[in-house]
Amino acid sequence: MVQSHAPRWVLSLSAALLVLLALSLASMSIGAYRKVSLYTVLEYVLHSKRVPPIYAAIIHVRLLRTLAGVIVGAALAFSGASLQYVFRNPLADPYIFGIASGAALGVILSLYWGQASPMALYTAASLGAIAALALVAAGGVLGGGTAFSYIVAGVGIGYLLWAMSMILVLEMGPRAHYSAIWLFGTLAYIDSAELRISLIVVIAVLAVALSLHRRYSRLLLGEEVSAIYGTPYRRALLELTVLSGVATAAATAMAGPVGFVGLVAPWIARLTGTTLYAGFIASTVVWGSSLVLFSDVTARLLGGPVELPLTAIMSFVGVPFIIYIMVKLRGSSAWR
């Protein structure tokens, strides 16, 4: 009798969904103001009218924050996974490539000029991300067009754009309090209008990417082999890079630059799943959402009256992963 086994990525995705569910419930239960029991949270989800108004209001606010964390994590994880596919580099992510810094600078410029509507922020974030991508592409070409040259260009341009953002924040004076916190990633200032726009953008990006998953899976075969299978290699690279920029802009406009999510989530998915694009992306986005929710819940628990930024929490997860990647790939340039 032949036994059928579920693909590894299905098991990875199932485990990730369970972790995400647990963290979502914790996110709606835990907060600086008042803790709400899991029973009350479940009762609100199943029948909100039975919950006392004070608890319903608290859970509603935390529900918006939880949804925002899911969206931000999914967007950044997708961006990191896609950039690693494009450049075949395990260290590629929207933060290292300067895309997040470009989106952040766009938002800071919008706030500096007094344009704070959700649409203005998203437009500014998208333009900043695209500008950063163009600068990184130009720098990479000047450096020889290798994956290493793009990484170096991304790091350098990212630092430059970050410095420009900090200068603008200092110029804003007292208006800069929100901006200073936002520059290190936070879900404390989520607006429902921003949430709706982010949700639409991220769903659209994921739908486009997954609908073309066969084309993107062939990128790992190289330009010549991909051409044999009918995949326009350079166009596919451009598509994925642009989709990554759009997803990063959507996440950054809402929560600010959140580091390490785009780097760590693909590696968790890769350790337990597959490198075929559809399964890889599905697992990665769920792990990314879990990472952001974990960071947000931890920030609320440890921050006291002032919440810790998400990047500060993620650093304690991301740095060990970077060391792990260095050890795993020591002496090898192969894509894993």
Task: List pLDDT tens digits, range 99-113.
Answer: 888 988 998 898 888
Distances (CA, A) of 226 to 80, 157, 163, 231: 22, 31, 40, 5
| Residue whose tokens read 């490198």 | 275
Residues 106, 123, 133: CA angle, nearest 5 degrees: 60
Q: How many CB atoms lie within 10 A of CB 137?
A: 16
**How far is residue 241's CA from residue 87's CA, in Å, rounded to a whole number?**
10
Contact in structure between 94 and 100 (CB atoms under 8 Å): yes
Q: Which residue type is seen at 301? A: L
Residues 312, 317, 321: CA angle, nearest 5 degrees: 130
Go through the domains of the chain in sequence order and give each one's CATH number: 8-328 (1.10.3470.10)
Token pair of 156 as six digits: 């350098």
Q: What pTM, to 2 d.p., does this model score?
A: 0.86
Sign of the CA dihedral with 260 first, then 265, 266, and 270 last: positive
Secondary structure letter of residue 309 according to DSSP: P
Tens of pLDDT, residues 207-262: 999 998 888 877 766 666 666 666 677 777 778 888 988 899 889 888 888 988 99
Q: pLDDT-based confidence at 3, cuts 50/70/90?
A: very low
Q: Collapse the DSSP code of 1 into the 3-class scheme (helix H, G, I; strand E, B; otherwise coil) and give the result.
A: coil
Q: pLDDT-based confidence at 21, cuts 50/70/90?
A: very high
Q: Write the Ramachandran bin of 279: left for phi over 0, alpha for psi from -120 to 50, otherwise beta.
A: alpha
Secondary structure letter of residue 307 according to DSSP: P
